Amino acid sequence: MNAPNPPPTNQEKPQRKRKKQAKKALLTFLRHLRRACTQFETLEKWIERVAELEELLSEYPDVFSKEQQKKLKEAAKLTNSTQAGIRAACKLLSMEIENVLAGMVIGGTATSVILGIFIVGAIMAGGVVAYLRFIPSSASVVMINEGCPDIPVGEALSPMASGLLSTFNLEVPDTVYMNDQAEMEVPALPISLTLQFTAPSTLGIRLGWFSIPLSLSSSVDSLQLDGEEVLTGSVSKGLREAPTHTILIHCP
């Protein structure tokens, strides 16, 4: 029987921390980029964004490989400087960033193989809960609070709901603080992530069968899922459509 993976050594911990910091920085850049893709971008603004990306990559040369850096820089190049050309480059760069983020999952091929064997065995034995708990957590949902009062998430759940989330390997942040962000790591299941807003200030975050109700500030003026506005109703995305999904909550 294969032994479980050993915990990270003291030498590995700093590198994991840098990888986490780099991922957070790239996620933030992607969020701003997605918003810019839907708005008018001048050539000067695009040049500024590319410079921001290059600065980010140069800060973490030990995290982003030369091949990854090359692909991102190639994607950022404009075929023409028209508005259509900038939008096309913006979309391509967003896709390349998502590909890089997809590869930033801690754990190697051997781990995936071991987990895969366990999953097959669990299904054959009828162990549905065990199956869900041992799916690699390769999908993440990033909640970003821009200017709103602190948003309780895990703190708002009942003990029963918290226990259920833990059973299915769903980690929910206690609070998303003002001008900060928090990340939820979830199993990459073939389910939908849905945001449903109900006036005046209630947000429902639904992951497949499970719903997390949030009470927001009445001053919220924008609520987005992967760049799509939710205040006008609801938006749904397949959890497997991208390695990372972003929930933006904005207050003036």
Residue 105: Cβ within 10 Å count: 18
pLDDT computed for residue 54 by the predictor: 92
> Would you place residue 111 in the very low, low, confident or very high pLDDT band (cuts 50, 70, 90)?
very low
Give the pLDDT of residue 104.
Answer: 67
**Bridge pairing between strands 244-250 and 139-146:** parallel
**What is the arithmetic mean of pLDDT over 7-28?**
73
Return the pLDDT at 103. 67
What DSSP designation does 225 have?
A: E
* pLDDT score recorded for residue 239: 82
Which regions of the chain does DSSP assign to beta strands (E)? 139-146, 151-152, 175-176, 180-186, 192-198, 202-207, 210-215, 222-225, 228-229, 234-238, 244-250
| Least confident piece of the model among 78-92, 101-115, 147-161, 210-224 | 101-115
In one-letter notation, the amino acid at residue 161 is A
Report the C-alpha dihedral over residues 186, 105, 153, 203, rounded to 10 degrees: -70
pLDDT, tens digit, 9 for 90 and up, residues 152-193: 887 666 666 666 565 555 667 788 888 888 887 777 677 888
SS (H, E, C) 202-216: EEEEEECCEEEEEEC
222 within 8 A of 231, measured Cβ to Cβ: yes
- Does residue 243 or residue 189 have the better pLDDT? 243
Mean pLDDT of the chain: 75
| Most confident residue range from 56-65, 95-104, 107-116, 194-203 | 56-65
Average pLDDT over residues 122-134: 41
Q: What is the mean pLDDT of residues 205-211?
A: 76
Q: Is the pLDDT of residue 132 over 60?
A: no
Look at residue 5 in the predicted model and tell me its pLDDT. 46
How many whole angstroms separate alpha carbon 28 and alpha carbon 214? 23
pLDDT more than 90, % of the chain: 9
pLDDT computed for residue 55 by the predictor: 92
| pLDDT of 165 | 62
Could you read off the pLDDT of 35-89 as tens digits, one per residue?
Answer: 777 665 678 888 888 999 999 999 999 988 888 899 898 888 888 888 878 888 8
**47-54: long-range contacts (C-beta < 8 A, 24 or more apart)?**
50/76, 53/29, 53/93
